Amino acid sequence: MQKTDILVIGASAAGFVAATMAKTMNPNKDVTIIRIEKQTLVPCGIPYFVSPGVNSDKNVMPTDKVFQDAGVNLTIGEVTTINTEEKKCTLKDGQEIAYDKLILGTGSTPVEPAWLAGTHLDNVFYVPKDKVYLDKMQGKLAQCKKIVTIGAGFIGVEVSDELVQNGKDVTLIEKLPHALALAFDEEIAIKTEEAMKARGVKLVTGMGVTEILGKNTVTGVRLENGETIEADAVLLSMGYRPNINLAKEAGITITREGFIKVDEYMRTETPDVFAVGDCAEKIDFITRKPSNIMLASTACAEARTAGMNLFKLSAVKTFNGTISIFSTAIGNQGFGVAGLTEQRAKSDGFDVISASFQGVDKHPGTLTDTHPQMVKLIAGKETGIILGGEVVGGPSAGELINTIAFIIQNRMTVNGILTSQIGTQPLLTASPAAYPLMKAAEILAKKRLGL
C-alpha cells in the first residue's frame, strides 16, 4: 500500500491549488494528487474552446510540470472508495493509498434535467470539464448549422456568443425574464442582452423549453407557448451539481443543499478530511445564507485556506464566505458583478441605497479604443458599508470588479472609498477627477445625507 502525508482527490482548480499550497506550507510532507483525467482543462476557458476548429489543447492546464516542479506526486486514476477510519483510499485498479490528511476537490458536473424529454437524442450536449467529451462535441458541432442553447447563465451566454462568431445560427433560451438575471440587476442584464443581440445571438427570454424534438437525432425544441425552434444541436447549460457521491458513501456529512459540509477552515465533520471547490459547502459572505455559487476563483481561495490549515489552524487564515464575483466579456464589452445586487439585497431584508455613474475608461475620452464605463454601487443605508457592485465597460471591467470585491471583503464604507487614493494613467484608467467608482461613491454619500 502506498502512503502519503497529504492526499488530494481531484486536480481541477481547487485540487491543483490545494496540492501546491499544501506543499508550499508543508515542504517536508509528502503530497500526492489523484485525477481521473489524462489532461485537465482550464475551467473558465471552456466556453472559448467548443467552437469547431479551435484547438482545445491550448486550454489544458500545465499541471504535470507544475506538480513536478513543486514536488507533488501525481497519480492518474479513479478513487472508488474512501475508508475514513483506516484513512485510506482505493482506486478502480485496486491500488490503495493511505493518508494522514485528505482534501476532496471532486468538483461538479452539469445538471441533467430528468424532467425534460429528449435529452437522450443525438446532438444533445452538455458542457462538462471533460476534454475527451468536449472534443467529440466540437467535431459534431462542425456539421451543425442551427444550434439552440438552453440556459442563459454565464456558460450559456459565453458558449452561444462564441458559436455565433464561428458562423453558427444560435438561439439562446432562458426561462427567467432576462439573460444573466440571477447575476445582475435588471438594467445591467438588459445591457448584456443588447450586446449579445448586436453580436448575432437570437434571444428568447421569459420562456422555458418543454421538450427536445427528434426521433434519433435532435430536430428542434418546443417552447412553453407551443412554438417550435429548429435545431441541428442543443446545448444544455442549466447549471452544475456538486460531485459528492464519493464523500457521501464514505459517511462524510452532506448539507441539505447537497454539498460537503465544511467549516471556515474547510474541514469536514470527519477528522483529517477537508473539502474545497464546487463540491464544498458555500455560505454567502454578506447574508450568511447557504449559496450554490460555483466559481474557480472561489475554489482557489478555499484551496489556499485548506492548504494553510492542514496541520495547524490559524484564526486569520479562514474562508469567510463567497462574495459571488462574476465577470464576462461579450465582444469588446466587459460586465462584472460582486456581492449583492440591489434586487437581492432588498429581497434579503437589507435597507440599501444605490448609485450609478457612467464615464469612460481612459482620459481624455477622445483617445483611441476608449470605452464607456459604468459603475453601480449598493451600500447599507445606515452604515454606508458597500454590499455589492456592478460594472459595465471595456476590458478593464474584470479588474475593476475585483477592486470592488476587495472593497466588499474588507467591509469598506462609502467614506472609506472617497478618502482612498487611486493611481490613474490616460491610456489605462478613467480620469482621477471623474473615476466612475469614486463618482458613484460620491452620489451614495449625497443620498445618505438626504441631498
pLDDT along the chain (451 residues), means of 10: 96 95 96 92 88 85 86 96 98 97 97 94 96 93 96 97 96 98 97 97 97 97 97 97 97 97 98 98 96 93 97 88 95 96 97 97 94 97 97 96 97 97 95 96 94 77
Other Cβ atoms closer than 10 A to 165: 15
Number of domains in the chain: 3
What is the pLDDT, as a whole number, of residue 40?
Answer: 86
Q: 441, exposed or middle or buried, with CB in 10 Å at 0-12, 13-18, 19+?
A: buried
State the residue for C-alpha cell 485548506.
Answer: 306
**316 inside domain:** no
**320 inside domain:** no
The set of cell numbers assigned to 445 is 454619500
Statement to judge: residues 214 and 249 lie in one domain? no
What is the pLDDT, as a whole number, of residue 53?
Answer: 79
Statement to judge: residues 358 and 345 lie in one domain? yes
Q: Give CA–CA dist 54/166, Å, rounded.
A: 10
Give residue 53's region: left, alpha or beta (phi > 0; psi -120 to 50): left
**94 inside domain:** yes
The set of cell numbers assigned to 288 is 450568511
Statement to judge: residues 138 and 205 lie in one domain? yes
What is the pLDDT, as a whole number, of residue 60?
Answer: 86
State the residue for C-alpha cell 450554490.
Answer: 292
**315 inside domain:** no
Last residue of a domain, one of 220, 238, 256: 238
**169 inside domain:** yes
Q: Give CA–CA dist 7/246, Å, rounded.
A: 15
**264 inside domain:** yes
**321 inside domain:** no
What is the pLDDT, as a whole number, of residue 300?
Answer: 95
Q: Give CA–CA dist 338/155, Å, rounded.
A: 17
What is the pLDDT, as a whole number, of residue 54?
Answer: 85
Domain that holds residue 44: 2-109+241-308
What is the pLDDT, as a whole number, of residue 79?
Answer: 97
State the residue for C-alpha cell 467591509.
Answer: 411
Q: 121, exposed or middle or buried, with CB in 10 Å at 0-12, 13-18, 19+?
A: middle
The set of cell numbers assigned to 61 is 492546464
